[in-house]
């Protein structure tokens, strides 16, 4: 070892070098990892190119939706009165003619009792003397009054117009009602349940019958129903017209921004749905969100819009 190298390197380094008899070789790198990395990068680029050219991106029109029970009958008060008893509960099935609500009728029943008693007295008088013309005339008049009083008492009880399930009960005992005020609603047995979606009007030209719809019910996590469009409104209207069509009992539950809208209708597959293993029934007025698939485009056209003219 030369004196120059002894001055250049530390003694420890020179001692370690002296342990090896031969000189080292040139550092050589293995090219196989580089070749495999290149192949993987090229394969990934080709796969990405095929993906953006072959696969499509779907565009959706989203809007508020409300559940409607077809054939639902609203029951209203026919005469003014105070609710005495409510004979049914929401979700209860009733037959046609079953009593629903009884109104306070003490005065009407007192009148019926008075007329009935007078009728019975005149009937006894006539039976004692069948030739008594005055008794006959009085009996005829009292019979008419009795029948009228009985019909008034009967009208103080609201009865089910059809067989079905009770829903949307809006009254309570002690409440005063005017003629025409809503009392409750009855959904006929085996009634169809439909979905009415309020979609922004600009999507109307792209919505067609048979388009897929996904409905998510408010308040129930992961509760989705996939249906198809069965009917599309022919006109694009404003929010006021949408609320008029839906009715006052439902319109206030939807928060519609300013703008134009179109109504889209579809049919739900059943009257019930499941959430977290529990079965529930659909009720008129339940709200949610509807997404309608209106068109699709290859991913490459979204990345490179200039290619749309070539593809089309």
Tell me, yes or no, whether 200 lies in a domain: yes
Task: Tell me if 288 sits within 8 A of 296, measured CB to CB.
Answer: no
SS3 273: strand
In the three-class reduction of DSSP (H, G, I as helix; E, B as strand; rest coil), residue 130 is classed as coil
Residue 12 belongs to a domain: no
Per the domain annotation, does 121 fall within a domain?
yes
Mean pLDDT (the chain) is 81
* Same domain flag for 198 and 233: yes
Domain boundary among 187, 208, 240: 187
Single residue among 158, 187, 216 that ends a domain in this structure: 187
* 197 DSSP β-pair partners: 65, 264
Whether 183 is in a domain gets the answer yes
Closest CA to 91 of 223, 159, 185: 185
Measuring CA to CA, which residue among 217, 264, 258, 265 is closest to residue 238?
258
196 and 257 together in one domain: yes
Residue-level pLDDT at 196 = 92
Report the C-alpha gap between 305 and 297 in whole angstroms: 11
What pLDDT is recorded for position 299? 65
Same domain flag for 94 and 142: yes
Q: Could you tell me if 204 and 65 lie in one domain?
A: yes
Domain range for 141: 73-187
Angle between helices 133-155 and 106-128 (to 10 degrees): 160
Both 146 and 287 in one domain: the answer is: no
**Shared domain check, 178 and 241:** no
User: Comparing 5-19, 147-161, 219-233, which segment has the lowest mean pLDDT?
Assistant: 5-19
In a domain, 19, yes or no: no
Q: Name the band, by pLDDT with cuts 50, 70 and 90, for residue 76.
A: confident
Q: Is 114 helix (H, G, I), strand (E, B) or coil?
A: helix
**Residue after which a domain boundary falls, among 135, 158, 187:** 187
> Global pTM?
0.60
Q: How far apart are CA 176 and CA 203, in angstroms?
A: 46
| Structural domains counted in the chain | 2
Q: What is the pLDDT of residues 259-293, one digit of tens each?
A: 899 999 999 988 888 888 888 888 888 889 999 98
């Amino acid at each position: 070892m030369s004196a120059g190298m002894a001055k250049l390197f530390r003694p420890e380094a020179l001692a370690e070098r002296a342990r090896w008899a031969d000189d080292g070789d040139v550092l050589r790198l293995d090219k196989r990892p580089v070749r495999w990395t290149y192949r993987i990068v090229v394969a990934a680029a080709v796969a990405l190119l095929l993906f953006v050219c072959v696969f499509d991106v779907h565009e959706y029109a989203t809007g508020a939706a409300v559940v409607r029970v077809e054939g639902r009958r609203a029951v209203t008060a026919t005469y003014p009165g105070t609710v005495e008893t409510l004979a049914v509960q929401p979700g209860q099935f009733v037959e046609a003619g079953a009593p629903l609500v009884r109104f306070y009728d003490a005065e009407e029943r007192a009148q019926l009792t008075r007329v009935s008693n007078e009728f019975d007295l005149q009937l006894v008088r006539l039976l004692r003397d069948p030739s008594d013309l005055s008794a006959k005339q009085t009996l005829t008049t009292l019979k008419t009054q009795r029948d009228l009083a009985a019909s008034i008492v009967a009208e103080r009880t609201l009865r089910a117009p059809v067989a079905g399930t009770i829903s949307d009960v809006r009254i309570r005992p002690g409440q005063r009602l005017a003629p025409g005020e809503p009392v409750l609603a009855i959904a006929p047995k085996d009634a169809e349940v439909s979905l009415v979606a309020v979609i922004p009007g600009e999507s109307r030209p792209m919505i067609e019958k048979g388009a897929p719809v996904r409905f998510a019910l408010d308040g129930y996590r992961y509760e989705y129903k996939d249906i198809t469009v069965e009917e599309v409104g022919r006109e694009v209207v404003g929010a006021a017209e949408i609320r008029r069509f839906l009715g006052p009992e439902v319109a206030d539950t939807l928060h519609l921004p300013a703008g134009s809208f179109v109504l889209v209708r579809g049919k739900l597959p059943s009257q019930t749905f499941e959430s977290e293993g529990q079965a529930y029934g659909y009720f008129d007025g339940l709200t949610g969100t509807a997404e309608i698939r209106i068109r699709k485009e290859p991913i490459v056209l979204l990345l490179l819009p200039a290619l749309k003219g070539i593809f089309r």
